[in-house]
Amino acid sequence: MLEGTAEGDPRWLLAHLLYYHRREAKSQWWEWFHHNSLVGEEFLEDDDTIGGIELEREPELDKQSLGYTLTFPPQEHKIRGECVDPASGKGYHVRVDDERGLITFRRSRKRVDEPLPSAFIPPQPLSDWKQRDAVARFARAYVAGGVSPVGSEPALVEVLERRPPRARLDLAVPEAALSLDGSYLFVQGPPGSGKTWQGAKAAIALMRAGRRVGVTSLSHKAIGKLLEEIEREAREQGFRFRGRKKSTDGNEETRFEGDFVDSSDSWQDLLDPELQLVAGTAWLFARSELRGFLDTLIVDEAGQVSLADVLAVGGAARNLVFLGDPNQLPQVSQGAQPAAAKASVLQHLLGEETTVPPDRGIFLERTWRLRPELSAFTSEAYYAGRLECAEPCESRSVAAGNGLVFRSVEHAGNGQLSWEEARAVAEAIEALLGTEYTNEKGVRRPLTERDVLVVTPYNAQVRALRSTVTAAVRVGTVDKFQGQEAPVVLVSLASSSGEDAPRGIAFVFNSNRINVATSRAQCRVELICSPQLLDVDCKTVEQMRLANALCRFVELARMEDGGTRT
């Protein structure tokens, strides 16, 4: 397939995408075997696993099960939901509370005498043969000439070849989606621009026109969020429809039960011809049985969805709508493959651009969240100056001062936990509480704990912050707060310097994460960090680019006392 192609050609790219899932799986399996080889303190040091687990209190009887609560020390990890005890090889479904350092789970009373886990590792990789087969089907047809812009899968061809979409891009999102006829629509939604709201309106408009709609994303959580918005919009419009989401037996977090959408563990139930909306992950839509079943497939959070996965699921529909923003949380690829094959579908379509050009898609240019001072920074740093604030944003205000604030806190030798910053954050919040806040309707009231959000890159710093700030203040990592907002946001970076940062400046300065963290704020965002962290020795152009946005923040911000009392 590579014969006669040059690097970057559609056929060259497609040839590498054929092996995308295989390469990703290889990397994931290596990680699985590595995690199983860890012992003792190594579970604490690994960024994926949880170690040092101990029983916090005696188990509590819950019907035929026992409910366990365990503790773990501060550490970085990726344990959520399904995981495995490496000592026994048995699977668990757990809830992890990073703020309090607690793990809870249930298991049968019959297992009361079994040893409790002292560590958890991520589960083994899921089978992705459906996705591999779907990409292979498309590739065979593409090479044979069976698919083309006027063939059976025209939208996928246009995406692969980066052709301009055949859509009315001068119309609002719902009308633009209705104008599709074998093509795609790229909707880029910066923070607070109403991307999900627009997607819900498009879904209702399509169903009103008699078109069957699909909803997919990288996670069940993201799918559920869009489904909630679609149901809200349907109720508001007085529109009724029948929808169904693919769920997984035994995993309640994959289920959705609403006014119009139910769930089924059987993929065959999703083929009911009476359904107007079908929702699920790539494991559903990559199935050959769903090929051509939909009129339009809406891919939410498409900035985190790989191009390979889009080729796998795109055959289920004649038209594709991509909702997302590649400048927020990015697509994560672990496999060793060309950069072009690792890209998300939105990165692929954008190429070297940071925002989608007017002839390539719709850029939602107004934010309904950020005040002018905040939107000006966000627009300049991440959106080529195209983002503006909607009129209601300017009406919101905090008496303590709006805009960007920098608090310099001296400390040394800290990697992923800084008590100095945790105390500075607590003092800053204490000074803010009770000061006047004015909402978009002009109503004035005292600022409360629920009006403040604290963001940090590290789970260990979450624990430190939780112990210093009041319980009602929301504290978490960037991943936890995507889509959320508050009048005031404080960002604690924790690392004393670039050399101290556990994953290097590529992680702590990651522009996507900094964008998400700072853009949660409606009125005021405070950056709390060590001044030495900003004095980073950039060795590559990419490192300079990463540092530039953070340094620009500090340049535009007003300095306030770091509150470094100990």
**Is 80 exceeded by the pLDDT of residue 564?**
no
pTM: 0.91
Please give the pLDDT value at position 565. Answer: 35
Domain that holds residue 331: 128-364
The average pLDDT across 147-156 equals 67
Q: What pLDDT does 150 receive?
A: 45
Residue 148 has pLDDT above 70, yes or no: no
**Which residue, 511, 500, 512, is CA-closest to 537?**
500
Q: Are residues 81 and 137 in the same domain?
A: no
Residues 136 and 89 in one domain: no
Query: Nearest 5 degrees, angle CA 371-CA 372-CA 373?
Result: 95
Asked whether residue 180 falls in the same domain as residue 327, the answer is: yes
Decide: 528 and 388 in contact? Cβ < 8 Å.
Answer: no
Q: Tell me if 53 is assigned to some domain.
A: yes
| 3-state DSSP assignment of residue 364 | coil
Same domain, 215 and 297: yes
Averaged pLDDT for residues 121-141: 94
> Averaged over 436-454, what is the pLDDT?
96
Phi/psi at 33 (nearest 5 deg)? Answer: -65, -35
Last residue of a domain, one of 364, 383, 408: 364
Q: Give the lowest-confidence range in 109-123, 146-160, 392-406, 481-495.
A: 146-160
Residues 410, 486 share a domain: yes
- Distance, in Å, from the CA atom of 167 to the CA atom of 183, rounded to the nearest integer, reads 7
Region 38-56 average pLDDT: 95
Using the predicted structure, report yes or no on whether residue 543 has a pLDDT greater than 80. no
Q: What is the pLDDT, as a whole number, of residue 4?
A: 64
User: Which of 409, 519, 386, 551 is closest to 468 using CA atoms?
Assistant: 409
CA-to-CA distance for 152 and 146, rounded, in angstroms?
A: 7
The Cα–Cα gap between 71 and 79 comes to: 14
Residue 117 lies in a domain: no
Based on the fold, state whether residues 345 and 385 are members of the same structural domain: no
Can you give the pLDDT at residue 3?
Answer: 66
Contacts for 253 with CB less than 8 Å, ≥ 6 apart = 81, 220, 221
Alpha-carbon separation of residue 440 from 370, 391, 396, 473, 474 (angstroms): 11, 9, 5, 22, 22
Tell me which of 148-152, 286-290, 492-496, 546-550 is least confident.
Answer: 148-152
* Residue 330 forms part of a structural domain: yes
Cα distance between residue 524 and residue 463, in whole Å: 24
Torsion angle of the four alpha carbons 549, 552, 553, 555, in this order, in degrees rounded to the nearest 10: 160
Residue 91 domain-assigned (yes or no): yes
d(CA 420, CA 430): 16
In a domain, 17, yes or no: no
User: Based on the domain organization, do 90 and 215 belong to the same domain?
Assistant: no
Reported as a pLDDT band with limits 50, 70 and 90, residue 152 is low
Return the C-alpha torsion angle 227, 229, 232, 236, nearest 10: -130
Q: Are residues 351 and 212 in the same domain?
A: yes
Distance (Å, whole) CA 477 – CA 77: 12
Return the CATH number at 199: 3.40.50.300
Share of the chain above pLDDT 70, in %: 96
Q: pLDDT digits over 502-517, tens only?
A: 877 778 888 888 999 9
pLDDT tens profile 319-361: 999 999 999 877 777 777 888 888 999 999 999 999 999 999 9
Among 140-149, 172-181, 463-472, where is mean pLDDT lowest?
140-149
Percentage of the residues of the chain whose pLDDT score is greater than 90: 77
Q: Is 259 part of any domain? A: yes
Distance, in Å, from the CA atom of 76 to the CA atom of 457, rounded to the nearest integer, reads: 10
Average pLDDT, integer, range 404-426: 95
Block residue for tokens 């090479």: 143
The Cα 502–Cα 414 span in angstroms is 9
Q: Is the pLDDT of residue 562 over 70?
A: no
Residue 196 in any domain: the answer is yes
Among 338, 364, 390, give the residue marking a domain's end: 364
Are residues 341 and 377 both part of a single domain?
no
Cβ pair 551, 544 in contact under 8 A: no
- My answer on whether 377 and 456 are in the same domain is yes
Are residue 390 and residue 266 in the same domain, yes or no?
no
pLDDT, the chain, mean: 92
121 within some domain:
no
If asked whether residues 81 and 133 sit together in one domain, one would say: no
Q: Given a cut of 90, is residue 273 above it in pLDDT?
A: yes
**Domains in the chain: how many in total?**
3
Q: Residue 553: how many CA atoms within 13 Å on its side-chain side?
A: 29
pLDDT digits (tens, 9 = 90+) for 198-257: 999 999 999 999 999 999 999 999 999 999 999 999 999 999 999 999 999 878 889 999
Region 66-95 average pLDDT: 94
